[in-house]
Amino acid sequence: MRPVLFSMLMIQSVTAIAAEDSCAGSKLRLASLDKALQHKDVAGAQTILRELEQQFPKCDELWLPKGRILAAQGDLAPAEDAFFAYIRLRPEDARGYYQVAQLLLDQGDDQRAANFATAALSYQAEYPEALIIKGQILAMRGRNAEAQQLLEKACKLDPDNAEAHFQLGTLFDSRKRNTEAVTQFEKAVSLRPWDPRPWDYLALNLEPLGENEKAESAYHKGLAVNAGRLYDSFLDYNYGRFLMKQNRLTESKEHLDRAVRLTPATRAVHYEHGKLNLLLKNYQEARIDGERALALPDPSGVILDLQVYYLLTTVYQRLGEEALARKYAELSRTTGVPVQAGERN
């Protein structure tokens, strides 16, 4: 072995031993801290971190939870500084690079996030969390087959990783592979029952399978835990739509009214609220909903202009606004349906 390389390895080894010594005895409390962060209990995590900082002031390991707490509080620049402090102290540890990648992904900087996830995998090739990030980014770029491969690998490496199952489920959901999505969301909720998002997705994927009782149960369980940092602002919207399809209009109104308050800038929410008001013969309210829906952009194409035109045509007819009814009937007749781009794999 060359002397320089031997010296570098010795330095890294000594540094690692020193870091372990400075954290000796902190393992159980660090596990409690990690659990608190997983449950999004930021206040509880802060309390544990303060205790650990007093007992183990030189423990390098504390930079990671400190960064995660800062990120959870919205202090993004200090969070990034904390993660980079850890990387400088332990440059061979993949976790530091992963935490930066997650922080960047949460901010929508998927290119830099991909770079740091790749760096994490260069130190630990089978690191499930880094694989999840790369899978998410590939899915965002429409490279679904590659994304599925990485997410399935993460699930295999760590079967108890709720996020791996959740992200794989959302990939199947986006491709309308409902049965496979249900399998993944069932695993996610069993591992992370306090998270409302997989309950919502589970219900949405049970609906097209005709599993209405199970879907409603999933909606109820999601609503029961829908609070805090993981709050799902579309849960009421989805459950309200479900109830409207069941012709349970009074119950539906309660949830769709709340959905309008929660997400007032979303076209789909006003559109469904308008459909409900039409069924309830609240025609003036339906008009307001329809006009508001038309005024809102919907770049994802969840609710097309054509659908809003149909709604407004009916509403104006009910209100006796014949000129406006003819206008939107003509728009309904002449407006085409956008051609969806082919899926890239």
Mean per-residue pLDDT, 68-83: 93
Query: Is the pLDDT assigned to residue 12 strictly greater than 90?
Result: no
pLDDT at position 144 is 96
The amino acid at residue 30 is L
Distance of CA 41 to the CA centre of its chain: 18
Query: Is the pLDDT assigned to residue 1 strictly greater than 90?
Result: no
**How far is residue 160's CA from residue 173's CA, in Å, rounded to a whole number?**
20
The amino acid at residue 139 is A
Handedness of CA 246, 249, 252, 256 (dihedral sign): positive
* CATH fold for the domain made of 233-335: 1.25.40
Q: Where is pLDDT greater, at 337 or 187?
A: 187
Query: Is the pLDDT assigned to residue 341 strictly greater than 60?
Result: no
Question: 81 φ, ψ to 5°?
Answer: -60, -40
Provide Rg for the chain, Cα atoms.
25
For 10, 238, 248, 273, the CA distances from 280, given in Å and listed in that order, are 76, 19, 11, 10
Q: Are 345 and 144 in contact (CB under 8 A)?
A: yes
**How far is residue 186's CA from residue 214's CA, in Å, rounded to a whole number?**
11
pLDDT at position 5 is 38
Query: Is the pLDDT assigned to residue 6 strictly greater than 60?
Result: no
Q: Are 194 and 163 in contact (CB under 8 A)?
A: no
Q: Which two tokens stand for residue 305?
A: 């202009």
Mean per-residue pLDDT, 269-279: 98
Query: Is the pLDDT assigned to residue 18 strictly greater than 50?
Result: no
pLDDT at position 254 is 98
**How far is residue 249's CA from residue 246's CA, in Å, rounded to a whole number?**
8
Q: Which two tokens stand for residue 96?
A: 């530091």
- If phi > 0 it is left, if psi is from -120 to 50 it is alpha, else beta; for residue 247 that is left
Q: How many residues does the chain have?
A: 345
**Which of the four pLDDT bands, split at 50, 70 and 90, describes residue 39?**
confident
Which residues, 6+ apart, have CB-to-CB distance to 340 below 8 Å? 301
Domain boundary assignment for the chain: 233-335
Mean per-residue pLDDT, 36-47: 88
Q: Are 331 and 312 in contact (CB under 8 A)?
A: no
Q: Which two tokens stand for residue 103?
A: 């922080």
Mean per-residue pLDDT, 220-232: 93
Q: Which two tokens stand for residue 5?
A: 């390389």
Mean per-residue pLDDT, 130-145: 96
Query: Is the pLDDT assigned to residue 14 strictly greater than 90?
Result: no
pLDDT at position 342 is 41
**How far is residue 292's CA from residue 287's CA, in Å, rounded to a whole number?**
8
Q: Which two tokens stand for residue 307?
A: 């659908």
Lowest mean pLDDT among 45-54, 275-284, 290-299: 45-54
The amino acid at residue 332 is S
pLDDT at position 103 is 95
Mean per-residue pLDDT, 139-168: 97
Mean per-residue pLDDT, 236-265: 97
Q: Which two tokens stand for residue 116?
A: 């740091």
pLDDT at position 26 is 78
